[in-house]
Amino acid sequence: MKTLLVCGGAGFIGSNFTRTMLQTYPDLRVVVYDKLTYAGRLENLQDVAADFAGRYAFVRGDIGDRALVEATVAEHGVDTIVNFAAETHVDRSILDPDAFIRTSCFGTYTLLEVARERGLRFHQISTDEVYGHIRAGASVETDPLAPRSPYSASKASADLLTLAYFVTYGVPVTITRGANNVGPYQYPEKVVPLFVTNALEDRPLPVYGDGQQMRDYQYVLDHCEAIDVVLRRGQLGEVYNVGTGQEIPNLEMVEIILNRLGKPRSLIHFVEDRQGHDRRYSLNVDKLSALGWTPRHTCQEAIAQTVDWYMANEWWWRPIKEGDFRAYYERQYGSRAVLGVGR
Ligand code: NAD
Ligand code: DAU
């Protein structure tokens, strides 16, 4: 692993991964390849561009553009592709699935073709959502995939393509399936940054349904470390779950945010539920633990640390919320019925 192509590296997890890899490995070079959709932002990497100028490069492009991916790989001598690029918000996939399918299905196929042609190592970033919602117990990597939203179906398709390229062509692949990440630079459409920034603005927090859905909120840098471990020590052709191994109800996440900010429960607005809302995810992470990885944060610590980052970094989120995000927010929440208010 000498030169990484980090696809989707201008987004939330990809930018954290790029920074941490450059900090950890003094000889590593990273090329971020990103389309810069609404979620991809060069601000996420501005410190990286300054601190690692000689070992970092940025290319703007679509992962479905094979000629540009090939040219980038050749020009920079890439030996490993890590693919974070995707449309990632479940609610947007319900409004408009098109880009989800294009990027995760066709785009991942394109990257796999380039990996096959050039003999590159390939790592796919996947999600616990491919298992569907879990009524009891915890998902293990060999469980059948049962995605229930256009987003998770597009991610499951990418996983299947990745594994097929290992079996059919011997492309050296691995996959990680991560639980909900929180931390710096997460676009404020996702629940934790949305609720923190709404609370800072004394706006309502729109909790879907009864707020008893279960999620494993893990700290993004723990996830990044896990990806690094799998890149170095993972077995080719294998899948690894990544999470804290514990999940909490959404309402507990809301309480942590409100308590940390000293804001009232009356900001909680119970609103009409998400269509097809997955009730619970739960990951068994024993396979990854056997490689020597352990998360450094609990869900509660991860959420609290994230609250602090958004409090200290208004420069980052305020322009987003005052820009195009307003139109999206109106479309997503404007006509959603309010079913109750927190007390
Ligand atoms: P994000 O939305 O913050 O970033 C996605 C990035 O991909 C953006 O920079 C965007 O510009 C880029 N992108 C989108 N389409 C592209 C295309 N066609 N070509 C090139 N670049 C493109 O997402 P994130 O939260 O950082 O998630 C990164 C990856 O991790 C995704 O694959 C997601 O499915 C997966 N994942 C996310 C979570 C989570 O909680 N956020 C959990 C598990 C897995
Ligand atoms: O589980 C991993 C997945 O986590 C990733 O694959 C996805 O890319 C990422 O977006 C995330 O998906 P979720 O749907 O779980 O995350 P989101 O932040 O959208 O919602 C988390 C929970 O909060 C979920 O139960 C829905 C609820 N929610 C969300 C929003 C945006 C609300 O109650 N109100 C909201 O306004």
Centre of ligand 2 to C-alpha 34, Å, is: 23
Same domain, 175 and 204: no
Q: What is the mean pLDDT of residues 314-322?
A: 97
Query: Does 210 map to a domain?
Result: yes
For residue 314, give Cα distances in angstroms to 48, 89, 177, 307, 308.
Answer: 19, 22, 31, 11, 11
Centre of ligand 2 to C-alpha 63, Å, is: 24
**Distance of alpha carbon 306 from alpha carbon 303, whole angstroms:** 5
**Distance of alpha carbon 305 from alpha carbon 260, whole angstroms:** 10
Query: Does 230 map to a domain?
Result: yes
Give the pLDDT confidence of 234-243 residue by residue, as tens digits: 999 999 999 9
Nearest CA to ligand 2 atom 19: 190
Whole-model pTM: value is 0.98
**Distance of alpha carbon 3 from alpha carbon 79, whole angstroms:** 6
Same domain, 70 and 141: yes
**Distance of alpha carbon 190 from alpha carbon 192, whole angstroms:** 6
Same domain, 196 and 165: no
Same domain, 307 and 171: no
Same domain, 122 and 53: yes
pLDDT of residue 188: 98
Instruction: Map residue 126 onto helix, strand or coil.
Output: strand
Q: For residue 208, which atom of ligand 2 is closest to its CA? A: 33
Q: b or e along 58-80 (b: 16 or more beta carbons within 10 Å of the residue's beta carbon)?
A: bbebbbbebebbeebbeebebbb
Same domain, 119 and 198: no
- CATH code, 304: 3.90.25.10
**Distance of alpha carbon 167 from alpha carbon 171, whole angstroms:** 8
Among candidate residues 34, 87, 91, 128, the one labeled active-site is 128
Same domain, 143 and 228: yes
The mean of the pLDDT values for the chain is 97
Give the pLDDT confidence of 68-114 residue by residue, as tens digits: 999 999 999 999 999 999 999 999 999 999 999 999 999 999 999 99
**Whether the predicted pLDDT of 1 surpasses 90:** no
Same domain, 141 and 210: no
Does 151 participate in catalysis according to the annotation? yes
Query: Does 291 map to a domain?
Result: no
Give the pLDDT confidence of 148-186 residue by residue, as tens digits: 999 999 999 999 999 999 999 999 999 999 999 999 999
Query: Does 292 map to a domain?
Result: no
Q: For residue 209, which atom of ligand 2 is closest to its CA? A: 33
Kindly state if the Cβ of 89 falls inside 6 Å of ligand 2.
yes
Does 322 participate in catalysis according to the annotation? no
pLDDT of residue 125: 99
Angle at 94 between CA 90 and CA 96, to 5 degrees: 110
Residue 124 pLDDT grade (very low, low, confident, very high; cuts 50, 70, 90): very high
Q: What is the mean pLDDT of residues 225-251?
A: 98
Q: What is the mean pLDDT of residues 262-284?
A: 97
DSSP code of residue 280? B
Query: Does 293 map to a domain?
Result: no
* Structural domain harbouring 264: 191-214+247-276+298-341
Same domain, 146 and 253: no
Q: Residues with Cβ within 6 A of ligand 1?
A: 7-8, 10-14, 34-37, 39-40, 62-64, 84-88, 103, 107, 125, 127, 155, 178, 180-181, 187
Same domain, 165 and 114: yes
What is the domain count for the chain?
Answer: 2
Among candidate residues 129, 216, 222, 278, the one labeled active-site is 129
Query: Does 288 map to a domain?
Result: no
Give the containing element (helix H, strand E) for 270: strand 268-271
Same domain, 88 and 154: yes
| Neighbouring residues of 149: CB distance < 8 A, sequence distance ≥ 6 | 90, 93, 94, 129, 276, 278
Straight-line distance from the first to the last Cα atom of the chain, in angstroms, rounded to the nearest whole number: 53
Centre of ligand 2 to C-alpha 316, Å, is: 21
Among candidate residues 33, 151, 187, 219, the one labeled active-site is 151
- CATH code, 70: 3.40.50.720
Query: Does 170 map to a domain?
Result: yes
Same domain, 140 and 255: no
Does 129 participate in catalysis according to the annotation? yes
Query: Does 18 map to a domain?
Result: yes
